[in-house]
Amino acid sequence: MERQIRIGSRESILAVRQAQIVKEELLKASPGLEIEIVTMKTTGDRILDKSLEKIGGKGLFVKELDYALLEGKIDLAVHSLKDMPMEIPEMLPILALTRREDPRDVMVLEPGKKSLIPGDIIGSSSKRRTLQAGKLYPGCIFKNIRGNVQTRLQKLEQEEYNATILAAAGLRRLGMENCITRIFSIDEMIPSAGQGILAVQGRKGEKIPGIESVACPDSIWAAKAERTFVRTLDGGCTSPVAAFAKVCGNEIFLRGLYYHEAAGEYVTGSISGDTTRGEALAEELANILKGKYE
């Protein structure tokens, strides 16, 4: 039976591309679907001159899409999982988590620049990235930068920034890998929880044809562990907490970062075990790292 599905997305080129990825997977499973992508600007997209922690956090990237789902204006919403708040509304569950794209962070230098020297300015709106990159580039200056991928790259050409740090997943989805100067290993820079995974959100109780084809079991296990680690440490969008889980067969390997504000330093650690114990392992690791400062 034919059915029309409306997928909600932020207006950025990357967000639309991510919605298209979900659309393509749905059409493979259910060729008879009619799928429309509906774009909208979120509060987080409109306010670019202030840091996220000053304007309300990650919820500002999903609020308008949540309302559109509740009001029936769209049937699905596609988000980068790393941009979603830790608490998901009961009426708007995550229906699927996609196969993970490259989870790592990357450095992009301004045009013509080959390497960084002390005094250079690195644009980063993430405390997590700034803390870890600060150890790799101790002589550089970190300055807040906001906006989508294209906006940040434009700022490298037009403003005083010499480099910026972005998610590899976004650049790869846009076919812009040629911009990448350096790829940070997971050990050098632990990613944000959920980085590289797309979350497909819908209304509770509604069935979407083909949605199961979008879901990746390994992403589900990894996301549960990473988000549990962050939640255990009360880490929100601006807290410099990081977590990355890799699933290998029946085993899950989790690496995490905890920042102690009073001490002004962070500690990292890892843990592994049976995949089905991912959330328990995440809590254990979070408490171990936190306990180092108690």
**121 within 8 A of 161, measured Cβ to Cβ:** yes
Tokens of residue 26, six digits: 């749905």
String of DSSP letters for 268-285: EEEEEEEGGGHHHHHHHH
Which ranges in the chain belong to alpha helices (H)? Answer: 13-29, 43-46, 52-55, 63-70, 127-136, 149-158, 168-173, 217-232, 278-291
Helix axes 278-291, 217-232, angle to 10 degrees: 30
Q: Which of 75, 83, 105, 218 is catalytic?
A: 83
Kindly list the distances between the CA atom of residue 45 and the CA atoms of 27, 67, 149, 238, in Å, as whole numbers in the listed order.
Answer: 29, 16, 12, 16
Tokens of residue 153, six digits: 């790259």
Tokens of residue 102, six digits: 């490259």
45 is catalytic: no
Q: Residues with Cβ < 8 Å from 7, sequence gap 6 or more?
A: 19, 22, 23, 35, 36, 37, 38, 74, 75, 76, 77, 78
What number of other Cβ atoms are within 10 A of residue 177's Cβ? 12
CA gap 259, 133 in Å, rounded: 14
Residues annotated as catalytic are 83
